Amino acid sequence: MFVTDIRKDFYEVVANQRVALMVATDIDALCACKILQALFHCDHIQYTLVPVTGWQELCTAFLEHKEQFRYFVLINCGANVDLLEMLQPDDDSIFFICDTHRPVDVVNVYNDTQIKLLIKQDDDLDVPSYDDIFRDEEDEDGGDSGNESDEGSEPSEKRRRFDEAAIERRIERQRARREWEARRREILFDYEQYEYHGTSAAMMFFELAWVLTKDTKDMLWWAVIGLTDQWVHDKITHIKYVTDIATMQRHVSRHNHRNEDEENSLSIDCMRISFEYDLRLTLYQHWSLYESICNSCYTSCSFKLWTLNGQKKLQEYLADMGLPLKQVKQKFNSMDVSIKENLREVIEESSNKYGMKDIRIQTFSVHFGFKNRFLASDMVHAASALLESAEKEESNTTDNFIKALDSLSRSNLERLHSGIDLAKRKLLAIQQTVASCLCTNLILSQGPFLYCYLLEGTPDVKLFSKPLALTLLCKYLLRAFVHSTRNKRCKLLPLIMAAPKDVEKGTVIVVGIPPESETSDKKNFFGRAFEKAAESTSSRTLHDHFDTSIIELKTEDRSKFLDALITLLS
Amino acid sequence: MPTKDVSGDRISKFKNKGKDPAKRREKRITECVELRKAQKHDSFLKRRNITLSSLPDEEALSPHKDLVGYKLEDIVLDVNSDSIEAQTRGCQAARKLLSKCHDPPMKEIIDAGLLARFVSFLSLDDEPALQFEAAWALTNIASGASWCTQQVVEHGAVPAFIDLLASPMLHISEQAVWALGNIAGDGPVYRDVLIECNVIPALLAHFSPDTPVGYLRNLTWTLSNLCRNKNPYPPLSAVQQLLPPLIQLFHLCDKDILCDACWAISYLTDGSNDRIDIIVKTGLLPRLVELMSHEEFRVVTPALRAIGNIVSGSDLHTQLTIDAGVLNVLPKLLRHKKATLQKEAMWTLSNIAAGHCKQIQQLITCGLLPPLVEALRNGDFKTQKEAVWAVTNFTCGGTAEQVVQLVQSGALEAILDLLQVNDAKVILIILEAINNIFTAAGKLGETKKLSLLIEELGGLERMELLQSHENDLVYQAAQNLIETFFSNDDAD
């Protein structure tokens, strides 16, 4: 069921309890977790934090904790499956689910006892009505005539004769029931067909903190990052992003206004969040402007930087702005202050000429003390890079999780900077991979979708065995492809990408993303399609990721799986 | 955190999860629905402000609008009135109540004292509508608990119904057949009361090749109820009367008729050898064997049961069954997907294996050893148990050469494997079989070879373990075997 009063029905319920916190490994979940941790800390609520990367880990974590805990909070996982069926919990385990995954499983929606959804009901859910999908069995069962004994057992000793009219009515009812069932299947099919995302989990918990009047600037910043994560990883529509940004902006002004008197001046330990209409240049304040332009999806795709012509255009563009190449190529921090002063306007003006009308986007930045300014998207990239870091040979998910979590605290700027370094490397790798895929025509049109397979041995292939990195690569690649292809039909196709996952086990990771377009509804049908294709070919697949559009697959089953997918979607 | 290393096969395992959950989801949904239902139900009652009562279901009466609001009191008034019209109306209302799917008010109607009136209506040959309604109402009351049937009988319904069988109106006669079936089905006492009243010839009044199939179905079922129940069995004279019509029914092709006819035969063969003898002599064995391969599971089950009963009779009965071709159909049934059928087929086989060595030879010739060994290895436990019996019977009655063939077909290995089961009785039967096999080996002078074979197959080890079995008989038997056949190792 949906929790309507999050304070009364969630927070006050867990207030004096020990809580198990199961957190998915995405940045929005991390931010939501930070906010909740801060609240729990504030109210001395004991909790245990368990990062979970997929369904299997969630099941294991639940089994390990179900004896000690009654209350489980699931962040960005659990909503889109029948959780009780998956975990088979005892009757007294209670699950609070704050998850952006849509559609929410109907059993979760209509279970009133154990499943509490921390999801806003006005969040574009379109849940089928109860009566359309569940039906009380009152007249149906037991209505069978006693005449028919069980197949093969002895006939009954006595038989009652039933009213023919009643029998006819029963047949009529059965027919009605069959029709109802067919309709139910149709409704559920429509409902479950597409996967998409709802309001950020971090924003949900920020709202809780606000309702409790315990919201702080840190919490607000995490909520902003959570929302920005949804934008960076392309989970929500542009309209949804802009709407939620507006909501966050109201909170930001409220906070700034509230604190005007006490700390209106910057000080070493202050924190100031501001709304910005800033550049869509990734990490530019922590890089050189030049490198940022080269490695940002928006600019790189617009110029087609993987072509000679694109490189030439970039030079013209820089010249148009009148920025000396020396300045542009040195660290942003060391650029002349005079250049930096109205840089955003200068860039916007030239970009407009070069067809990049959306070079600026509504976002937020934060100042930590005097020196450190970060855009929300910088934080997302840094934390994602830490979360999926493959630095050490045996990179440990829990370690990475903690590091990424740490990078979100302002007390741990060093960690954040190390994340930014990793993020730069990751963006470079993405850029290079995109260029090489396009130049060697690795993107194939398979009819109903585009397909790209990263071969074992491709540089940085290990990096792309991780879901966030591969998703980002996918998004960049599709955008770049749409900019480079002349085939109009191909511009409208979704993309499936496969990359080696585990060479020893012979598996690949497969990601599907919806078609690239400004007005895309970001609804992804690959989850269901993958399930069906796997089923029909009995391919050995592992549907373990919380996003159903990300799966693992045995390398040797790849071609039959794809063939089935083509047939299915054609 | 779970470890990262999970073996490769998890992928396939995970994929398969997709199916089982469907079932469990169903369960969850049901539970969820039930919760909702309870809530909904409460509010429903409150809203309508009604209480649960035995008021007739409006819907059930709706076809006759004049019956809306018609209560039990009204029925009593009408049934007890002098007007035929009112009586018919009351009777029909009562019949409709008794024909509801849920909670027919049998007791209420009996307590209202309506049975005597209903029985009296049965004899009103000029009022067929009333006759019919009364017969139906009484049929349904007789279908209730024994107490209800007793009320019907004690109001004199038996002779009335037997008279009604002769009604020229087929649907009325059929209703009487049905009612008498219910009375016969109550148990041996009423069954014999009916037989005493000469129900059998009366039942056959409308039995002809032109009789509609619906009528014949009811008739077959009623006849089968007259064959049913032991302690005591139906009188032999009655059996002699019942068999000719049954055998005629046996050659029709309606599944329901065949099903009930086969059950009737299975009841009649479930007795002493002289009763089996009567059945076998009618010459229906070939048809019965034929029906064992019927496409309809409901027919196969009673046919197999009857055959199983017959082969448990004398050697002659077994031989006649073999001659009728039973060994050709058994292999298919031994491999049937339904465990209950497998078990019954194996029980039949075990009884054939208990015959003399010529029959055992036929069993071998007809290729029954492979399915027997398969069942020993992979069958359902109940089937395995019967299969073990079959082996023991075989080794007891078979010649030494036949036993060798059995061992070579893999049966020895299979029964040695079964020594691990947790069922003392099965273990004892297996040990007996082993003993029998040693006897056979002794005749061929191959005792030593057999000991070695059993040891190789791990049987000795299992028998040694059995020496510490909690059951004394098992322990004794195992020890005897080991001492007799495995202890001269020291001499070597």
CA A327 distance to own-chain centroid: 37
Q: Cβ contacts of residue A333 below 8 Å, gap of 6+?
A: A285
Q: Is the pLDDT of residue A457 over 50?
A: yes
Q: Cβ contacts of residue B441 below 8 Å, gap of 6+?
A: B400, B403, B447, B449, B450
pLDDT tens readout for residues A173-215: 778 888 888 999 999 999 999 999 999 999 999 999 999 999 9
Instruction: Output the CA angle B163-B166-B170, nearest 5 degrees.
Output: 125
Nearest Cα residue to A359 out of A370, A347, A346, A371: A347
Q: Is the pLDDT of residue A145 over 80?
A: no
What distance in Å separates the CA atoms of residue B361 and residue B353, rounded to the nearest whole number?
9
Report yes or no on B144 lying in a domain: yes
Phi-psi region of A234 (alpha: psi -120 to 50; beta: other; left: phi over 0): left
| Residue B44 binned pLDDT confidence (cut-offs 50, 70, 90) | very low
What is the mean predicted confidence (pLDDT) over A497-524?
90
Q: Is B193 helix (H, G, I), strand (E, B) or coil?
A: helix
CA A315 distance to own-chain centroid: 36
Q: Both tokens of residue B185? A: 């089905």
C-alpha distance from A160 to closest chain B C-alpha (Å): 5
- Residue A103: Cβ-neighbour burial (10 angstroms; 0-12, 13-18, 19+): buried
Report A:177-236 residues touching B (Cβ under 8 A): none
Residue B186 one-letter amino acid: D
CB of A267 within 8 Å of a chain B CB? The answer is no
Looking at domain A442-569, which CATH architecture does it have?
Roll (3.10)
- Identify the pLDDT of residue A266: 54
| Residue A263 binned pLDDT confidence (cut-offs 50, 70, 90) | low
As for how many domains chain B has, the answer is 1
Which uninterrupted H or E stretch holds A466?
A: none
Nearest Cα residue to A299 out of A286, A285, A310: A310
Cross-chain Cβ contact A107/B28 below 8 Å = yes
Among A6-10, A488-492, B345-349, B446-450, the range scoring the smallest mean pLDDT is: A488-492
Neighbours of A558 (CB within 10 A): 16
What distance in Å separates the CA atoms of residue B103 and residue B365, rounded to the nearest whole number?
57
What distance in Å separates the CA atoms of residue B385 and residue B415, rounded to the nearest whole number?
10
Instruction: Tell me if A200 sits within 8 A of A230, measured CB to CB.
Output: yes
Q: At what angle do helices A201-211 and A27-42 cross, to 10 degrees?
A: 20
Q: Is A331 helix (H, G, I), strand (E, B) or coil?
A: strand
What is the mean predicted confidence (pLDDT) over B44-52?
30
ipTM score here? 0.72
Cross-chain Cβ contact B178/A161 below 8 Å = yes
Nearest to B18 among A142, A169, A535 (CB): A535
What distance in Å separates the CA atoms of residue B164 and residue B131, rounded to the nearest whole number?
9
Q: Is the pLDDT of residue B278 over 80?
A: yes
| Residue B178 binned pLDDT confidence (cut-offs 50, 70, 90) | very high
What distance in Å separates the CA atoms of residue A73 and residue A77, rounded to the nearest whole number?
10
Task: Find where tokens 């007793």 sit.
Answer: B150
Where are chain A's structural domains? Answer: 11-123, 270-428, 442-569
| Residue B210 binned pLDDT confidence (cut-offs 50, 70, 90) | confident
Instruction: Tell me if B202 sits within 8 A of B180, measured CB to CB.
Output: no
Q: Cβ contacts of residue B451 below 8 Å, gap of 6+?
A: B460, B485, B486
CB of B50 within 8 Å of a chain A CB? The answer is no
Q: What is the DSSP letter of B345?
A: H
| Residue B67 binned pLDDT confidence (cut-offs 50, 70, 90) | low
Among A64-73, A107-116, A250-259, B256-265, the range scoring the smallest mean pLDDT is: A250-259
| Residue B290 binned pLDDT confidence (cut-offs 50, 70, 90) | very high
Q: Is the dihedral of CA A249, A252, A258, A264 positive or negative?
A: negative
- Identify the pLDDT of residue A388: 92
CB of B267 within 8 Å of a chain A CB? The answer is no
C-alpha distance from A542 to closest chain B C-alpha (Å): 5
What distance in Å separates the CA atoms of residue A32 and residue A223, rounded to the nearest whole number?
7
Pairing of strands A71-75, A94-98: parallel
Q: Is the pLDDT of residue A440 over 60?
A: yes
Tell me the backbone φ, ψ of residue A176, rounded to 5 degrees. -60, -40
Report yes or no on B165 lying in a domain: yes
Nearest to A540 among B6, B12, B18 (CB): B12
Q: Both tokens of residue B125? A: 């040959």
Q: Is A128 helix (H, G, I), strand (E, B) or coil?
A: coil
Q: Is the pLDDT of residue B329 over 60?
A: yes
| Residue B469 binned pLDDT confidence (cut-offs 50, 70, 90) | confident
Which uninterrupted H or E stretch holds A247?
A: helix A238-258
- Identify the pLDDT of residue A313: 94
Instruction: Tell me if B170 sits within 8 A of B132, measured CB to CB.
Output: no
- Identify the pLDDT of residue B470: 87
CB of B371 within 8 Å of a chain A CB? The answer is no
What distance in Å separates the CA atoms of residue B387 and residue B348, rounded to the nearest whole number?
10
- Identify the pLDDT of residue A269: 65
Nearest to A155 among B21, B142, B260 (CB): B260
Q: What is the DSSP letter of A149?
A: P
CB of B65 within 8 Å of a chain A CB? The answer is no
Cross-chain Cβ contact A56/B14 below 8 Å = yes
Residues B213-246: b if buried by 16+ CB within 10 A, e if exposed = eebbbbbbbbbbbbbbbeeebbeeebbebbbebb
Task: Find where tokens 């391969």 sit.
Answer: B293
Cross-chain Cβ contact A143/B142 below 8 Å = no
Residue A534 one-letter amino acid: A
Cross-chain Cβ contact B260/A507 below 8 Å = no
Task: Find where tokens 């096999």 sit.
Answer: B437
B451-456 long-range contacts (CB < 8 A, ≥24 apart) are B451/B485, B451/B486, B453/B407, B453/B412, B454/B412, B454/B416, B455/B486
Task: Give the domain CATH number at B190.
Answer: 1.25.10.10
pLDDT tens readout for residues A215-242: 999 999 999 999 999 999 999 999 999 9
- Write out the residue range of the structural domain in which residue B48 sits: 44-197
Task: Find where tokens 């920025």 sit.
Answer: A323
Report yes or no on B290 lying in a domain: no
Q: What is the DSSP string of B285-315?
A: HHHHHHHTT-S-HHHHHHHHHHHHHHHTS-H
Whether A11-123 and A442-569 share one fold: the answer is no
Q: What is the DSSP letter of B264?
A: H
What is the mean predicted confidence (pLDDT) over A279-287?
94
CATH of A11-123, one of 3.20.20.370, 3.40.50.300, 3.90.1640.30, 3.40.1480.10: 3.90.1640.30
- Identify the pLDDT of residue A143: 38
What is the mean predicted confidence (pLDDT) over B335-339?
90
Report A:147-166 residues touching B (Cβ under 8 A): 151-163, 165-166
Q: Is the dihedral of CA B341, B344, B350, B355 positive or negative?
A: negative
Phi-psi region of B223 (alpha: psi -120 to 50; beta: other; left: phi over 0): alpha
Q: Using an 8 Å CB-CB cutoff, list chain A residues near B33.
A: 134-137
Q: Is the pLDDT of residue B48 over 60?
A: no
Average pLDDT of chain A, as a whole number: 89
| Residue B3 binned pLDDT confidence (cut-offs 50, 70, 90) | very low
Residues B383-414: b if buried by 16+ CB within 10 A, e if exposed = bbbbbbbbbbbbbbbbeeebbbbbbebbbbbb
Report yes or no on B146 lying in a domain: yes
Residue A176 one-letter amino acid: A
| Residue A130 binned pLDDT confidence (cut-offs 50, 70, 90) | confident
pLDDT tens readout for residues A379-391: 999 999 999 987 6
Among B42-51, B152-161, B219-228, B365-374, the range scoring the smallest mean pLDDT is: B42-51
Q: Where are the alpha helices (DSSP H) in A54-149?
A: 55-65, 83-87, 106-110, 130-133
Of the CA atoms within 13 Å of residue A535, those in its CB half-sphere come to: 10
Task: Find where tokens 């209670």 sit.
Answer: A94
